[in-house]
């Protein structure tokens, strides 16, 4: 069977991989969940929307004759990553995850680590503060349990309705710089940054900005995902493909 890749996307790293795969002339499909209005264009064919759980993904892999899945989703997309492990195991399709190391606190960082989103909500109990809530649109509702704070949200699309009335909203998809995030934290007089431990460079600037300003960070640890082979760079993924006998065409 000729090789055909499925790239599970939605991250900067997934887009970087798609560029390399296109340069190598490999047949590939790029998959978005469909969470944002205008996803970035890709140099390979794109499909959008859920597959329908493990069974739906397994059906898709068979129907599209996918030989290799590269899970380049965000480290907090635990459901998709778990489904990929299970569907690939069920169909015998090869799987690798393109991951990035989590961030770790260094000198000058004031982090409180919490294990998950619920713990982050609980940790915000206390007097009103100005909080930069950088957790993404899907998780905002949980923070309505701490309505005393003045929240700043940064979102890719303007929301139709917000579960946090009174929150300030900045619409911006980045990329962001440390300098501009220092300006954002200063302008909004931010006293807490709440962040997922995404790792990588795409979402890092707010953490560096918080360090420089001495602003404390509530850092949410990553969810658990079943063990799978992992690569840290697109080049390593291409190496894995070549190793498994795929002709990269360059």
Which residues would be at the binding site for ligand NAP (CB under 6 A)?
8-11, 31-33, 35, 50-53, 56-57, 73-74, 76-80, 83, 136, 138, 196
SS (H, E, C) 115-165: CCHHHHHHHCCCCCCEEEEECCHHHHHHHHHCCCCEEEEEECCCCCCCCCC
Smaller CB distance to ligand NAP: residue 201 or 247?
Answer: 201
Shortest reach from residue 117's CB to ligand NAP, in Å: 10
Shortest reach from residue 72's CB to ligand NAP, in Å: 7
> What is the number of the residue whose Cβ is closest to ligand NAP?
50
Smaller CB distance to ligand NAP: residue 77 or 124?
Answer: 77
Q: How is 38-85 classified by DSSP, letter by letter? A: SPPP-SS-EEES---HHHHHHHHHHHTT--EEEE---TT-HHHHHHHH
Residue identified by tokens 């501009």 is: 180
Smaller CB distance to ligand NAP: residue 26 or 84?
Answer: 84
Shortest reach from residue 136's CB to ligand NAP, in Å: 5
Nearest-CA neighbor of 217 among 134, 148, 136, 156?
134
What is the separation of C-alpha 112 from the centre of its chain, rounded to a whole number of angstroms?
Answer: 21
Length of the chain: 250
Residue 223 DSSP class:
P
Nearest-CA neighbor of 179 among 212, 201, 147?
212
Smaller CB distance to ligand NAP: residue 44 or 213?
Answer: 44
Shortest reach from residue 58's CB to ligand NAP, in Å: 11
Shortest reach from residue 107's CB to ligand NAP, in Å: 27
Smaller CB distance to ligand NAP: residue 100 or 149?
Answer: 100
């Amino acid at each position: 069977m000729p090789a055909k890749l499925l790239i599970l996307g939605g991250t900067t790293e997934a887009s970087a991989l798609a560029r390399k795969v296109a340069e190598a002339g490999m047949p590939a499909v790029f998959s978005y969940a469909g969470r944002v209005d205008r996803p970035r264009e890709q140099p390979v064919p794109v499909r959008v929307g859920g597959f329908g759980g493990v069974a739906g993904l397994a059906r898709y892999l068979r129907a599209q004759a996918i030989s290799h899945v590269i899970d380049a989703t965000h480290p907090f997309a635990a459901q998709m990553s778990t489904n990929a492990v299970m569907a690939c195991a069920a169909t015998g399709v090869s799987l690798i995850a393109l991951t990035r190391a989590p961030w770790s606190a260094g000198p000058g960082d004031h982090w409180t680590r919490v294990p998950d989103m619920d713990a982050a909500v609980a940790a915000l109990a206390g007097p009103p503060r100005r909080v930069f809530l950088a957790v993404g649109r899907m998780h905002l509702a949980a923070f309505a349990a701490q309505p005393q704070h003045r929240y700043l949200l940064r979102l890719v699309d303007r929301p139709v309705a917000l579960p946090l009335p009174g929150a300030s909203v900045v619409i911006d998809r980045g990329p962001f710089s440390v300098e501009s995030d220092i300006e954002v934290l200063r302008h909004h007089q931010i006293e807490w940054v709440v962040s997922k431990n995404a790792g990588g460079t795409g979402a890092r600037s707010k953490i560096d900005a918080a360090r420089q300003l001495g602003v404390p960070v509530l850092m949410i640890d990553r969810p658990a995902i079943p063990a799978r082979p992992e690569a840290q760079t697109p080049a390593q993924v291409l190496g894995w493909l070549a190793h498994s006998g795929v002709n990269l065409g360059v």
